[in-house]
Amino acid sequence: MATSATALISPRPYQQQSNDQFNALKYLSTGAAFHEATGHGISKETPDQCVIDQAHLLMRHGERYPTASSGKKMQELLEKLKSSTTETVYNPLGFVHDYEFFVSNSSDYGKETYYGPYSGLADAFFFGSELRQRYNHLVDADHTLPVFTAGEKRVYDTAKAFSQGFFGNGYSGDFQLISIPEKEEQGANSLHNKDGCPNFDNDDNVDSALEDENLQYAQYEADRLNKLGGSGYNITVDDIFIMGDYCAYENNVREMVW
3-state secondary structure of 177: strand
> Rounded to whole angstroms, how far apart are CA atoms 37 and 26?
9
Please list the helix, strand and coil fractions of the chain in percent, rounded to the nearest 5, in that order.
45, 5, 50
3-state secondary structure of 147: strand
Residue 61 designated active-site: yes
Of 252, 254, 33, 62, the C-alpha closest to 157 is: 62
Q: Which of 40, 56, 61, 137 is catalytic?
A: 61
List, in order, residues 6 or more apart from 93 with CB less than 8 Å away: 81, 85, 225, 229
Phi then psi dihedrals of residue 241, to 5 deg: -65, -40
Which residues are identified as catalytic?
61
